[in-house]
């Protein structure tokens, strides 16, 4: 909403602001005049450096104008009323505008890391303390930047329009209502937001996944880093509302099999994000969220042999309720996870391969098998001389029940063998084709 009435002029005062970049104030006004004015520092001498090509002072001026004018817009939309108009949310929003309007200034880097060229996160930032909940004023601006970059800047315009109509909404609550219109949910986007924070600085990787400026951002602090897949249950401290905890797992040469993760919790709410750093340089994510149940289980189609490392984000997408009693299990070959997530209640308990049906058959039959978890599966048919006749399946199958058809119309009558290889285990059975 434009804070300048049609035909009016907006007043900026340039003066010594006593060490601040600037500030916005309400004023008594005549009809048709703006309700706010902006004060801006007059020389910016001694202020932190930035990356503007025309110098630090001009960069600071540009960032301040964008920041303070956003405060003027906020006032015109909700009178700076809580919750969205309160300090933490409003400063996050105004700092976002510095990046949106003047992308080449990057003065906000000082809020997320210890200096323009430092790889270290600033102690108030999400990168330093992801376990501290959002909002967090200037230092959580990266949380806002995620939504601008992933969905486009219009999402924040739409959110503020919604807040103007429903002043009791916080910015996160506006997103809860708004994101289905963008084809997403707040729960999933919140976990992805933290995966982007994970994939910054020294963990930026070689792909385009994550923030546009992720290589200039700081690294994120981990709860724990593992040099092999942990076999034991990992106890996780409580997670505050709108916060997360990060883990990094680098597999050893002995770690094999499909990658899956489960988190047991107190039936409040939990989201899990897995970020796979593939050996071919790619980066892929898998996200699952849940509430009012005791476990969230996340299967994947990736194998420990194929990844350099895996990032794990365990997040709390509620803005009011802590997530408690959290325990994480990580799966691999020989270390399967007890699955209690109701979403996967119908998964088989063990690998089973059934006799084909019908048998004998003419000319077609079905070969059924069950998988308790994701596995690499190859199903081949051989004649009695050991010659391969046909490959019926070769790829990654998620846990579940499968029925693979086999058509023997072009084969002669006789005995055939079908062999099912599942993650290195081989099962062979006979079948009879009678024409």
- Read off the pLDDT of residues 415-428 as tens digits, 9 standing for 90 and up: 999 999 998 789 99
Domains and CATH numbers, the chain: 12-184 (no CATH), 224-341 (2.60.120.380), 352-433 (2.60.40.1930)
- Distance CA(89)–CA(140), nearest Å, equals 9
Q: What pLDDT is stored for residue 352 in this prediction?
A: 93
Q: What spatial distance separates the first Cα and last Cα of the chain, rounded to whole Å?
A: 78
Q: What pLDDT is stored for residue 192 in this prediction?
A: 99
Percentage of residues of the chain with pLDDT beyond 70:
100
| pTM of the full structure | 0.89
Report pLDDT digits (tens) over 311-345. 999 999 999 999 999 999 999 988 889 899 999 88
Q: What pLDDT is stored for residue 32 in this prediction?
A: 87
Which tokens sit at 128?
A: 């330093």
* H or E stretch at 194: helix 186-198
The 3-state secondary structure of 97-150, one letter per residue: HHHHHCCCCCCCHHHHECCCCCCCECCCCCCCCCCCCCCCHHHHHHHHHHHHHH
Exposure string for 356-388, b = 16+ CB within 10 A, e = fewer: beeeebeeebebebbbbbbbbbebbbeeeeeee
Q: Is the dihedral of CA 151, 154, 160, 163 positive or negative?
A: negative
Q: Which of 235, 237, 288, 285 lies closest to 131 in space, CA to CA?
A: 237
Q: Is the dihedral of CA 321, 91, 181, 77 positive or negative?
A: positive
Q: What pLDDT is stored for residue 334 in this prediction?
A: 85
- Distance CA(377)–CA(303), nearest Å, equals 13
Determine how many CB atoms are found less than 10 A away from the CB of residue 188: 17
Q: What pLDDT is stored for residue 369 in this prediction?
A: 96
Report pLDDT digits (tens) over 75-92. 999 999 999 999 999 999
Query: Is residue 304 predicted with pLDDT exceeding 90?
Result: yes
What is the number of helices (H) and of strands (E) in the chain?
A: 7, 19
* Long-range contacts, stretch 49-54, CB < 8 angstroms, 24+ apart: 49/116, 50/105, 50/106, 50/107, 50/109, 50/116, 51/104, 51/105, 51/106, 51/109, 51/116, 52/102, 52/104, 52/105, 53/104
Q: Which residue's entry shows tokens 């909002």?
A: 135
Segment 248-261 shows an average pLDDT of 96
* Residue 64, SS3 per DSSP: helix
Query: Is residue 396 predicted with pLDDT exceeding 90?
Result: no
Q: What pLDDT is stored for residue 12 in this prediction?
A: 96
User: Dihedral, CA atoms, 210, 212, 215, 217, nearest 10 degrees?
Assistant: -90
Percentage of residues of the chain with pLDDT beyond 90:
91
Concatenating the DSSP letter of every residue in 284-310 gives EEEEEEEESSSEEEE--S-BGGGEEEE
* Arithmetic mean of pLDDT over the chain: 96
DSSP code for 213: T
Alpha helices by DSSP H, 54-86:
56-78
Segment 196-213 shows an average pLDDT of 98
Query: Is residue 382 predicted with pLDDT exceeding 90?
Result: yes
pLDDT confidence tier of residue 252, bands split at 50, 70 and 90: very high
DSSP code for 67: H
pLDDT confidence tier of residue 291, bands split at 50, 70 and 90: very high
pLDDT confidence tier of residue 163, bands split at 50, 70 and 90: very high
- Distance CA(281)–CA(129), nearest Å, equals 28
- Distance CA(409)–CA(183), nearest Å, equals 46
- Distance CA(67)–CA(64), nearest Å, equals 5
* Long-range contacts, stretch 103-106, CB < 8 angstroms, 24+ apart: 104/51, 104/52, 104/53, 104/59, 105/50, 105/51, 105/52, 105/59, 105/60, 105/62, 105/63, 106/50, 106/51, 106/213, 106/216
Distances (CA, A) of 330 to 249, 263, 298: 10, 9, 10
DSSP code for 38: E
Burial, 44: exposed, middle or buried (Cβ in 10 Å; 0-12, 13-18, 19+)? buried
């Amino acid at each position: 909403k434009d804070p300048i009435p049609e035909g009016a002029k907006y007043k900026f005062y340039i003066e010594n602001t006593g060490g601040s970049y600037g500030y916005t104030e309400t004023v008594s006004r005549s009809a048709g005049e703006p309700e706010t004015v902006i004060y801006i520092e007059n020389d910016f001498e001694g202020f932190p450096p930035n990356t503007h090509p025309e110098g630090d002072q001009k960069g600071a001026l540009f960032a301040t104008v964008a920041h303070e004018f956003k405060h003027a817009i906020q006032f015109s939309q909700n009178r700076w009323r809580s919750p969205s108009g309160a300090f933490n949310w409003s400063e996050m929003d105004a700092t976002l505008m510095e990046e949106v309007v003047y992308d080449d200034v990057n003065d906000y880097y000082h809020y997320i890391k210890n200096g323009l060229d430092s790889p270290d996160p600033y102690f108030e930032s999400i990168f330093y303390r992801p376990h501290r909940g959002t909002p967090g004023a200037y230092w959580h601006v990266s949380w806002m930047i995620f939504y601008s970059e992933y969905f486009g800047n219009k999402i924040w315009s739409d959110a503020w329009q919604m807040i103007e109509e429903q002043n009791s909404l916080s910015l996160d609550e506006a997103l809860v209502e708004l994101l289905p219109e963008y084809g997403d949910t707040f729960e999933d986007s919140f976990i992805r937001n933290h995966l982007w924070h994970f994939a910054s600085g020294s963990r930026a990787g070689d792909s385009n996944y994550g923030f546009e400026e992720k290589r200039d951002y700081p690294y994120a602090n981990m709860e724990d880093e593992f040099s092999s897949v942990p076999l034991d249950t990992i106890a996780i401290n409580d997670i505050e509302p709108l916060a997360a905890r990060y883990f990094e797992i680098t597999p050893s040469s002995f770690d094999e099999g499909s990658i899956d993760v489960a988190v047991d919790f107190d039936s409040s709410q939990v989201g899990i994000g897995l970020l796979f750093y593939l050996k071919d340089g790619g980066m892929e994510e898998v996200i699952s969220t849940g509430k009012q149940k005791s476990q969230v289980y996340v299967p994947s189609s990736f194998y420990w042999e194929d990844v350099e490392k895996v990032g794990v984000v365990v997040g709390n997408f509620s803005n009011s309720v802590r997530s408690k009693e959290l325990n994480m299990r990580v799966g691999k070959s020989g270390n399967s996870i007890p699955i209690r997530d109701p979403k996967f209640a119908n998964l088989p308990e063990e690998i089973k391969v059934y006799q084909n049906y019908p048998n004998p058959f003419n000319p077609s039959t079905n070969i059924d098998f069950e998988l308790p978890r994701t596995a690499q599966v190859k199903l081949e048919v051989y004649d009695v001389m050991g010659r391969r006749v046909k490959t019926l399946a070769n790829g990654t199958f998620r846990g579940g029940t499968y029925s693979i058809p086999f058509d023997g119309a072009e084969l002669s009558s006789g005995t055939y063998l079908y062999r099912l290889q599942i993650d290195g285990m081989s099962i062979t059975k006979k079948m009879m084709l009678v024409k």
